[in-house]
Amino acid sequence: MELPKIDERFIKQYKELLICGLLLLLAVAFGIRQVVVTIMKIQETSKEHKKQKEKLNEAKKKLKDYEDANKRLMDKQSNIKKVFQPKTATEDSIASFGGMFEDIIDYVKINNLMLRSVQYQINPADDIIYGKFPTLYNVCNVQLMLVGTYVQLEGLVRDLTVYPYFINLSEVRINPYEKDDQYIIATINITLYSKKQQSAASVMGGDGAPGAAGGAPAGGGM
């Protein structure tokens, strides 16, 4: 019995349909793979962000602990630590902090932090000590913006906490560094104090020099 002949056009169309079907399946499979890869990347990114957030919260807690410790230390040592006195007598308020500025910049360098910016305000009216004894002390609020790691920042805070002269580490704020998630941006506010060159009248007591009852820092020299 002779088999019926199959139209070659049908075979050609069938091959074309088969090829199209295979290409469609490949496209769908590739699309599914891309979706899966994208989802995995999103999940990995989400996990990484979660880790960074946990690290950030942990660092904030540590820095809060340092701030609390610094406050307790200041409460205990406010009458013990000496107020910085320039080696060379000067009536220039900014110049009177030269030695302290150098110390702080050295601390930044020692802890391998990058200094982004420095802002300062001389003799702010709202400072309690300057408000009580404006003829005895110069006051300087300093704000540092730094880039570094948590460990480097902790080192700087630790150094400032044990600084031998009377200062106030009033605030530390940290945020993620947008260019590299291994680093953070820290903003530190420090209040510095230095002794003014006293006139004869103030030495005689006319300005009401701070004593133990006044709550001002001890006035010893360098």
Q: Provide the residue range defining the domain that includes 133.
A: 52-203
74 vs 186: which has the higher pLDDT: 186
Residue 214 is assigned to a structural domain of this protein: no
- Here the tokens at position 97 are 């902090």
Residue 72 is assigned to a structural domain of this protein: yes
Lowest mean pLDDT among 54-58, 114-118, 148-152, 192-196: 54-58
Is the pTM value of this prediction over 0.85?
Answer: no
Residue 46 is assigned to a structural domain of this protein: no
- pLDDT > 90 in the chain, percent: 24
Which residues on neighbouring strands pair with residue 69, listed in sequence order?
Answer: none
Model confidence at 57: pLDDT above 80: no
The domain tally of the chain equals: 1
Q: State the Cα–Cα distance between residues 201 and 215, nearest whole angstrom.
A: 22
Residue 3 is assigned to a structural domain of this protein: no
Residue 37 is assigned to a structural domain of this protein: no
**One-letter amino acid of 116:** R
Residue 9 is assigned to a structural domain of this protein: no
Q: State the Cα–Cα distance between residues 62 and 207, nearest whole angstrom.
A: 41
Kindly report the average pLDDT of the chain as a whole number. 75
Contact 152, 23 (CB under 8 A): no
CATH number, position 154: 3.30.70.60
Query: Cα-Cα-Cα-Cα dihedral of 216, 168, 98, 152, to 10°?
Result: 160
> What pLDDT digit, counting tens, does each position of 191-216 carry?
999 988 765 444 444 444 443 333 44
Nearest to 193 by CA among 144, 153, 134, 111: 134
| Average pLDDT over every residue of 74-81 | 60
E-assigned strands of 22-132?
114-122
- Here the tokens at position 124 are 């702010």
CA dist 116 → 72, 184, 186 (Å): 29, 12, 10
Residue 187 is assigned to a structural domain of this protein: yes
